Amino acid sequence: MVPDCQSQAFVPQQDSVTFTKDSMHYGATISWPANRTACPGIVLVSGTGKQNRDGMMAGHPVFKQLATWLNSIGFAVLRMDDRGAGETNGVYETATTADFAEDALVAAAFLQQQKGIVKVGLMGHSEGGAAICIAAARSSNIAFLVSLAGLAAPGLEALIAQNRAIVDNSPGVSETKKQRLNTLNDSVFYTIAAHVRDADSILIQQVKATYDRWKVKDDAIMKKDSNAFRERIYYPVDGFARQVAGPWFRFHISYNPADYMKDIRVPVLAVNGDKDIMVPAAIHLPYFKKYIGARKGASITTVVVPQMNHLLQECTTCLASEYSKAEQHMHPQLYKVLSDWLKKFL
């Protein structure tokens, strides 16, 4: 039986560490397996949203719990504070996925230098799944990759699929309002993609113009439909337009997995849950299969875990509102999937 975070009682030795590259100063924790002689290492790479090294999400220290479990099966783990969090400097809000990939490579190089470490892999969650692919394409020093609920589709497709899934799974919202919201979101995302290389002022202007055109049509619908009028849509277009003009959103919506996955030269495991509405398995896993394997040494294993949400938990309603209420740290089947695949690197 594969131990999980709840049942295993292993308490790892932990070292608080700092390391630097250029102007970046990173704060992190390395936790160790019982046998520190000739052990493999893993760097955990977080997803969207500034997090500390423990990966606090919906009240759960996801990365700390995952690291402890990985220690219990024989891996050393480095988990670090994101830019602008904890002991890591920098500005998170102006960084892109490519910057996070560079952070992962700096961390991997530091972990590789530690006594007893024989190889280092990367494990990324959500946007971290894209970051580890970018990192591995840039480096020949990564031994393997594990993507957990990881982004793999092109940015525009991913954003449209994610927002449609969120809208379609929103409780208490009429089908008519869902259609109106999806139409608005799709139109705005296509506009951003079309003008992503334009100056900030032009991109912002185009987003606002798209919203204005949609609103004229939506106002006409509300005049004819009393239910639609009662379900008026309030859209913070000014704030959103400024947000999408920033470097992170520009990179994200332009992301093309083929640019990086075709250069990966190591084994890759990609695991997604079938109830993940943030990064739907049916949208993202096919891209891992499509693009990974072109280079010698590359291989891809994809797994869909039933009843698993975006935070890797076994879920019932599988809505975001359930994240903080879940008693399990991670889906029991995920431990077995990881253990079976990772044992080849021990």
Q: At 230, is the pLDDT very low, low, confident or very high (cuts 50, 70, 90)?
A: low
User: How many other C-beta atoms are found inside a 10 Å radius of the C-beta of residue 128?
Assistant: 29
Rounded to an integer, what distance in angstroms lies between the CA atom of residue 247 and that of residue 94?
6
- Same domain (yes/no): 143, 167: no
Domain extent for 33: 14-153+257-345
- Same domain (yes/no): 18, 67: yes
The average pLDDT across 176-184 equals: 93
Res 345 pLDDT > 80:
yes
* Weakest-pLDDT range from 24-28, 290-294, 321-325: 321-325
Rounded to an integer, what distance in angstroms lies between the CA atom of residue 341 and that of residue 321?
31
Report angle CA 138, 142, 143 to the nearest 5 degrees: 145
Q: At 250, is the pLDDT very low, low, confident or very high (cuts 50, 70, 90)?
A: very high
Tens digit of each residue's pLDDT (9 = 90 or more) over 75-126: 999 999 999 999 999 999 999 999 999 999 999 999 999 999 999 999 999 9
Res 134 pLDDT > 90:
yes
Q: Domain for residue 7, yes or no?
A: no
Q: Tell me the pLDDT of the chain averaged across its residues.
A: 93
Instruction: Report the percent of the chain where pLDDT is more than 90.
Output: 83
Q: At 344, is the pLDDT very low, low, confident or very high (cuts 50, 70, 90)?
A: very high
The more confident residue out of 104 and 233 is 104
The average pLDDT across 279-286 equals: 97
Tell me what pLDDT residue 131 has: 99
Split into its structural domains, the chain has a count of: 2
The more confident residue out of 297 and 6 is 297
Tell me what pLDDT residue 222 has: 79
Res 229 pLDDT > 60:
no
Q: Domain for residue 8, yes or no?
A: no
Residue 149 sits in a domain of what CATH number?
Answer: 3.40.50.1820
Tell me what pLDDT residue 6 has: 45
pTM of the model: 0.94
Q: Domain for residue 1, yes or no?
A: no
- Same domain (yes/no): 161, 238: yes
- Same domain (yes/no): 142, 160: no
- Same domain (yes/no): 292, 238: no
Q: Domain for residue 5, yes or no?
A: no
Read out DSSP for 263-327? T--SEEEEEEETT-SSS-HHHHHHHHHHHTTSSTT-EEEEEEETTB-TTS-B-SS-SGGGGGG--
Q: Domain for residue 4, yes or no?
A: no
- Same domain (yes/no): 82, 135: yes
Read out DSSP for 87-137? T--S-GGG--HHHHHHHHHHHHHHHHTSTTEEEEEEEEETHHHHHHHHHHH
The average pLDDT across 136-150 equals: 98
